[in-house]
Amino acid sequence: MSIELFGLKGIPLVKEGDNIADLILNALKEQGETLQHGDIILVAETLVSKSEGNVIKLGDILPSEDAILIAKKSKKDSKLVEAIIQEAREVVEVGPDFVITETKQGFVCANSGIDESNVGDGLATPVPENADLSAKKIREQLEKETGEELAVIVTDTQGRAFRVGAVGVALGCSGIDPLWKRKGEKDLYGRELQTTEVATADELAASASLIQGQADEGLPVVIIRGFSAFDTLRNEDSDIHPLLRPKEFDVFRN
């Protein structure tokens, strides 16, 4: 069994109103590639937020008293902290050099996922308003124009508890279930599996991150071809929620 990952060259710097599916199709054409059944298209969230005009002008923000306090504690800019608070449902932890929140969308991550890389000076991109819907729109257009069954995952890079370093994670998912429930399947010795739920969309996002990089690679779209569980996980109505652990079940928040 083998899987191929490749980055799309020639995706331009995206601006508000750009159609990401069009950009992907054009880049594929220039690369002499066409999409195939089961291809998974991973799109960096910055691309999505910028195309949706979801960009924060930090200079325009008036920090609240809360933001000023948290800015002092976290040694972050108070305007950025106000933006973080506005994107959050709850502030989970504040420490020197970090603010961890639960975003409006339910992601627990640093800085509400607000990113100051790969966007113009004085600007920042929050996570997409509804990355599932963004993924769905891209997938539906790509499927319509190619006639193939595909999946689209909107990706971010986030830190973790207990381990150092950021990894690629999925923010939105369309076309396949993000969680592979394998309960009842057997191991090599015929015993029932213990690890029965695999966060497949996060593993796909982590894989894509090896190519997307974090710097000036300019490869924000990656295609994963040959993932053998595509048909098993196919779901036209999927979204990211199976990967989000509700607060009441999260031992590290209670």
First to last CA, the chain: 42
Instruction: Give the burial string for 239-248 (b: 16+ CB within 10 Å, else e).
Output: bbebbeeeee
Nearer to a copy of itself (CB atom), residue 37 or residue 241: 241
Residues 4-43 that bind a copy of itself (CB under 8 A): 4-7, 13
**Number of shown-chain residues binding a copy of itself (CB under 8 A):** 75
CB of 108 to a copy of itself, least distance (A): 4
The answer to whether 128 touches 45, Cβ cutoff 8 Å, is yes
Q: Per-residue contact track with a copy of itself, 222 to 241, x per CB under 8 A?
A: -----x-x------------
Is residue 62 within the footprint of a copy of itself (CB under 8 A)? no
Of 69-77, 136-144, 145-153, 181-189: span binding a copy of itself (CB under 8 A)? 181-189
Is residue 199 within the footprint of a copy of itself (CB under 8 A)? yes
CB of 126 to a copy of itself, least distance (A): 14
User: Judged by CB under 8 A, which of 29, 72, 75, 186 binds a copy of itself?
Assistant: 186
Helix (H) or strand (E) holding 112: none
| Closest listed residue to residue 110, CA positions, set 73, 81, 133, 69 | 81
Coil/strand/helix, residue 133: helix
Is residue 59 within the footprint of a copy of itself (CB under 8 A)? no
Pairing of strands 56-57, 123-124: antiparallel
Of 15-23, 58-66, 144-152, 175-183: span binding a copy of itself (CB under 8 A)? 175-183
**Distance from C-alpha of 226 to C-alpha of 221, rounded to nearest angstrom:** 17
CB of 243 to a copy of itself, least distance (A): 5
CB of 241 to a copy of itself, least distance (A): 9
Residues 83-102 that bind a copy of itself (CB under 8 A): 93, 95, 98, 100
- Phi, psi dihedral angles at 81 (to 5 degrees): -65, -40
Residues 109-148 that bind a copy of itself (CB under 8 A): 109, 115-121
Q: How many CA atoms lie within 13 A of 30 on its CB side?
A: 12
**Distance from C-alpha of 177 to C-alpha of 173, rounded to nearest angstrom:** 8
